[in-house]
Amino acid sequence: MAAPTRNETSTPQFAEYSGPCTWEEILEVKRKFATDETAVYRFCRTDDVLNRYQDWRKEVLDRYDAVADYMKITVLSYPSESNPSTSKLRAITPEDKSVLSDLVLRLNDFPYATTPSESVLHYVLWSLTDLPESQIHEILSSKLPQYEHIFFENPPHRKTIPEIQHYHVFARLKQ
């Protein structure tokens, strides 16, 4: 499987759909990931979700310089300006970073396939900085107290938005 490209004008490549992951499979991928980064290729999107993502991405790139600009502006509250050379929006890093949303946990708009899909939720935790695992656990326990969770960070070659620190989070009601 080819690594996703960093060129914002072409579409990243994704793992071929191999069926939804159960909670137990997600746990197994997390265990394997410590020694085998290719384990994350078990995560994939359904064709419908992947098509929606590709359509969304095209729309974003019609209005923004990059997908990262869109995410910084809409999720992390960066100010924006029109790029004079492209007439598209781009994010501006403010001098005072306290105006930014430094941590945002939200459902993934284009989740990996899980089963049962209504019970295993796929979130993304967006952050302005790299976070230690213990802090991520604290954040998730605080924001999702009734859920157990599994999280990971994609390896660099698999990140579709490498400019912004983010973690994939799977959650389900505590059993």
100-116 residue pLDDT tens = 988 999 999 999 999 99
Tokens of 153: 């960070």
Domain boundaries, the chain: 23-173
Q: At what angle do helices 47-63 and 67-74 cross, to 10 degrees?
A: 90
CA pair distance 102, 100, nearest whole angstrom: 6
From 131, 126, 112, select the one nearest 73 (Cα to Cα): 126
- Write down the pTM of the prediction: 0.87
Q: Which band of pLDDT confidence, cut at 50, 70 and 90, is reported for residue 13?
A: low
Span 69-98, pLDDT tens digits: 999 999 999 999 999 999 999 999 999 988
